[in-house]
Amino acid sequence: MNADLGLDSPRVAATLNQLHRRAKGDRWILLRASPAALGAMLTGRSIFKAAEPYSKNAYIPVDPDQGRMLYITARAIRAKTIVEFGTSFGISTIYLAAAARANNGRVIGSEREPTKVKAARENVADAGLQQFVDIREGDAMKTLREIDAPIDFLLLDGWKDLYVPMIDMLAPKLSSGAVVLADNIFTFKKTLRPYVHRMQDRSNGFASVTLPLGHGMEYSVKL
pLDDT value at residue 41: 53
Say whether pLDDT at 52 is over 80: no
Q: Report yes or no on 86 lying in a domain.
A: yes
Distance of CA 207 to CAs 170, 200, 204, Å? 16, 6, 9
Distance of CA 72 to the CA centre of its chain: 15
> What gap in Å lies between CA 63 and CA 166, rounded to an integer?
23
Q: Report yes or no on 206 lying in a domain.
A: yes
129: left (phi over 0), alpha (psi -120 to 50) or beta: alpha
What's the pLDDT band for 59 if we cut at 50, 70, 90? Answer: confident
Q: Report yes or no on 113 lying in a domain.
A: yes
Q: What is the CATH number of the domain that holds 133?
A: 3.40.50.150
> What gap in Å lies between CA 56 and CA 149, rounded to an integer?
31
Say whether pLDDT at 1 is over 80: no
What's the pLDDT band for 67 if we cut at 50, 70, 90? Answer: very high
Q: Report yes or no on 29 lying in a domain.
A: no
DSSP state of 150: P
205: left (phi over 0), alpha (psi -120 to 50) or beta: left
Say whether pLDDT at 4 is over 50: yes
Say whether pLDDT at 153 is over 80: yes
Q: Report yes or no on 45 lying in a domain.
A: no
Number of residues that this document lists for the chain: 223
Say whether pLDDT at 149 is over 60: yes
pLDDT value at residue 60: 80
**Stretch 169-187: mean pLDDT, rounded?**
97
Say whether pLDDT at 46 is over 90: no
**Stretch 62-76: mean pLDDT, rounded?**
97
Q: Report yes or no on 17 lying in a domain.
A: no
pLDDT value at residue 5: 74
What's the pLDDT band for 28 if we cut at 50, 70, 90? Answer: very low
φ and ψ of 191, to 5 deg: -65, -40
> What gap in Å lies between CA 220 and CA 200, rounded to an integer?
8
Q: Is the dihedral of CA 153, 156, 158, 162 positive or negative?
A: positive
Q: Please give the tally of structural domains in the chain.
A: 1
DSSP letters spanning 14-51 = HHHHHHHHHHTTHHHHHHHHHHHHHHHHHHT--HHHHH
Say whether pLDDT at 56 is over 70: no
Lowest mean pLDDT among 21-30, 118-127, 156-165: 21-30
Say whether pLDDT at 175 is over 90: yes
> What gap in Å lies between CA 14 and CA 176, rounded to an integer?
35
Q: Report yes or no on 75 lying in a domain.
A: yes
Q: Report yes or no on 213 lying in a domain.
A: yes
Domain of residue 209 covers: 61-222
pLDDT value at residue 3: 46
pLDDT value at residue 221: 98
Tens-digit pLDDT profile for residues 80-139: 999 999 999 999 999 999 999 999 999 999 999 999 999 999 999 999 999 999 999 999
E-assigned strand segments in the chain = 81-85, 106-111, 133-137, 151-156, 174-183, 206-211, 217-222
Nearest to 206 by CA among 163, 177, 165, 169: 177
